Amino acid sequence: MYPNNNFDFYTLTVTRNCGGPSYSVPITRDWVHFDKDILTGQVNEWKGTAHVGIPGSVCACDPQLGSQHHDVLAALDMRIFDAVCVAQVPPKFRPQPGFALARGECCTFTFTLYAQDKTVDEYGPGNCHHASASCCIQICNDLPQKILHDATGGVLTHVPHDLRGAERDADFADAEPAE
């Protein structure tokens, strides 16, 4: 029997565990396209509605789908974790204040993937099957405090924390540190 197509949507949330807020990850695989609801056609940037990857159990049922493979659920803009770079994230997708890490700061974040289907069961419609899975990851913002720029203002290199105040490499002798 071929598997049903009751998939509804998935979301990805990142929560700062050091007393900070949660962030709903925009569901895009390329930062250009977002999934549309298969019934309404409306785009919801925070819900993934596309089927992603092919599980082995489905491949066994329909060889035309190809071999089992994984795919990208969402492209995460890593600038959300840096208190300096977060200002470059489009406002609509920027996390709440207190989410991003200061340079040199570490914190554990919980990533939670939630998914549900549209199955109607013995309890009636709206009682969807749903599940979530969480994973904790410690993230340390090890980006440098200073960035070297050349005479045109272009970034030459990031200076590691342990090299601040040390003598500069001869290749960067003309570079000016930027705050």
Distance between CA atoms of residues 11 and 29, nearest Å? 13
The yes-or-no verdict on residue 160 having pLDDT over 60 is: no
Same domain? For 148 and 138 the reply is no
Same domain? For 112 and 164 the reply is no
Structural domain boundaries enclosing 178: 144-179
Domain total in the chain: 2
Q: Is the residue at 2 inside a domain?
A: no
Same domain? For 134 and 148 the reply is no
Tell me the two tokens of residue 173: 């002798």
Mean pLDDT of the chain: 78
pLDDT at residue 166, as a whole number: 41
pLDDT tier, 51 (very low <50, low <70, confident <90, very high otherwise)? confident
Same domain? For 159 and 128 the reply is no
Same domain? For 85 and 34 the reply is yes
Same domain? For 21 and 48 the reply is yes
Same domain? For 169 and 135 the reply is no
Q: Is the residue at 69 inside a domain?
A: yes
The yes-or-no verdict on residue 127 having pLDDT over 70 is: no
Same domain? For 132 and 176 the reply is no
Same domain? For 114 and 176 the reply is no
Same domain? For 113 and 160 the reply is no
Which bin fits 171, alpha (ψ -120 to 50), beta or left (φ > 0)? alpha
Same domain? For 148 and 137 the reply is no
Distance between CA atoms of residues 110 and 98, nearest Å? 15
Tell me the two tokens of residue 39: 């019934």
Same domain? For 118 and 150 the reply is no
- pTM beyond cutoff 0.75: no
Q: Is the residue at 1 inside a domain?
A: no
